[in-house]
Amino acid sequence: MITTPLRIILVEDEETDAVLIKRRITKIVETVEVKVVKDLPGFENLFTNFLPDVVISDYNLPSGTGLDIMELVKSIDESIPLIFITGALDDDELAANTILSGASGFILKKHMSNLHEKLEPLLKQVVYNMVQHEELREQIRKNKIAVHQIYSHLDSMKADDIEQRENIKKIRNNLDKFNIEDAE
């Protein structure tokens, strides 16, 4: 069982499938918040307000395809994974194209009875990536704190000597370059 809390948007136009998928997800994830939408306009509105950890989508939707959902997700935040759970991907070429387009995985609806077994490794990968990014974000935060402390120290130094003032100025310029590169 996955113990890391997850926020999921499920894009599914068939209500019975949505209920089944949500039920299977709760077998895998201890603490989960799943929001269900039926189409692309509903997804677009919810996505910007809910900020999910992962998007799970059907491929064929009333107002487009899962690739439209994926394109919208990637245009806003490339790091959010998208998993297809669909009956439309019986074609191996279409399945391969979705993965090549950036999907994190796909599962056929014909496997609904053991969906949790197929979905669990994909969601574990999502959690693993979240943890990796969390550590990176924490390291960036610590680095920014350290740079701020250096700036404060430099500001508090009394430079009586022209050479000392020049050295402090050089250090500040180098730190500014570091901050610009860090922001990129």
CATH number of the domain bearing residue 85: 3.40.50.2300
**50-94, pLDDT tens digit by residue?**
888 999 999 888 888 888 999 989 888 788 899 998 876 556 666
Asked if 66 contacts 86 with a C-beta cutoff of 8 angstroms, the reply is yes
- Tell me which residue range forms the domain holding 96: 6-139
* Residue 141: band (very low, low, confident or very high) from pLDDT cuts 50, 70, 90: low
Domain total in the chain:
1
Domain-located, residue 168: no
Up-side HSE of residue 9: CA atoms within 13 Å toward CB?
Answer: 26
Beta strand 82-86 with 105-108 is parallel
Query: Is the full-model pTM beyond 0.85?
Result: no
Domain-located, residue 164: no
Q: Which amino acid is at 161?
A: D
Is 62 strand, coil or helix? coil
Domain-located, residue 83: yes
Tokens, residue 169: 């100025």
Domain-located, residue 157: no
Per-residue pLDDT for 172 more than 90?
no
Q: Which residues, in sequence order, are CB contacts of 111 under 8 Å at separation 6+?
A: 118
Domain-located, residue 171: no
